[in-house]
Homo-oligomer: A and B are copies of this chain.
Amino acid sequence: MKSVKVNMSKNRLEAFSDGVIAIIITIMVLELKVPHGHHLSDLKPVLPVFISYIISFVYVGIYWNNHHHMLHAVRSINGAVLWANMHFLFWLSMIPFVTAWMGETLFAEIWPVVFYGIVLLMNSISYTILVIVLLKHEGKNSLLADAFGRDWKGKISLGCYILAIALAFVNTYITFALYITVACIWFIPDRRIETKMSDEQQKN
């Protein structure tokens, strides 16, 4: 009976997170304002917002994938995990705002590009906090601890975001290129968890 209760708790955290992430990823499309004209050229102002949308869609997709894989390896949760998750969702919910701002100013202006980076950085930090809180709850010998052993991707991303924000004051397009590079690094979900879990399952 214990495990059932604990699983349900975890399931509801997943369901709530899925709901919030699904809404975040979808409401960004509302920023694509319908043009009033009907020529191909009327789509031109929509283009940078569309490109912003693609990048943010991929970033939110990456987080959903990682969140999915991480909670897959988790056995139970507690109150601290609920709040760490809420904190992470808060920063994720900032993405539509900075996406629209960066898109409207064509990636050419410093502050919109900087704030996009700050939100990505805060997402990364809040996700790391969530991982730490989960690891503390699950224990050092857990499946999760094994899988997250080194986490070089997370460390590289953090460094890239800080570098990208600094470089925005030199050239915003370099920053923009760095955002795309980090997305590419994360694109492939962390196979170590999948592998660890397959091993675990084969042992059982």
Which of A's residues lie within 8 Å of B, judged by CB?
1-2, 5, 8-9, 12-16, 18-27, 29-32, 34-36, 38-40, 42-43, 54, 57, 61, 64-65, 68, 72, 78-79, 82-83, 86, 89-90, 93-94, 96-97, 100-101, 104-105, 109-112, 115, 187-189, 191, 194, 197, 201, 204
Contacts and interface: CB of A to CB of B under 8 A. Distances in A.
A29 B101 CA distance: 13
A5 B201 contact: yes
A8 B10 CA distance: 11
Given A19-B22, A26-B24, A72 B5 contact: yes
7 contacts: A2-B204, A19-B19, A20-B26, A23-B26, A32-B97, A34-B101, A82-B189
A125 B16 CA distance: 24
How many subunits of this chain does the assembly comprise? 4
Nearest to A16: B18
A22 B29 contact: no
A164 B38 CA distance: 18
Contacts of A101: 34-35, 38
Contacts of A23: 19, 22-23, 26-27
Contacts of A82: 65, 68, 189
A117 to B, nearest CB: 14
B29 A93 contact: yes
A32 B31 CA distance: 12
Most chain B CB within a 10 A radius of its CB, from A22, A31, A96, A197:
A22
Contacts of A29: 27, 93-94, 96-97
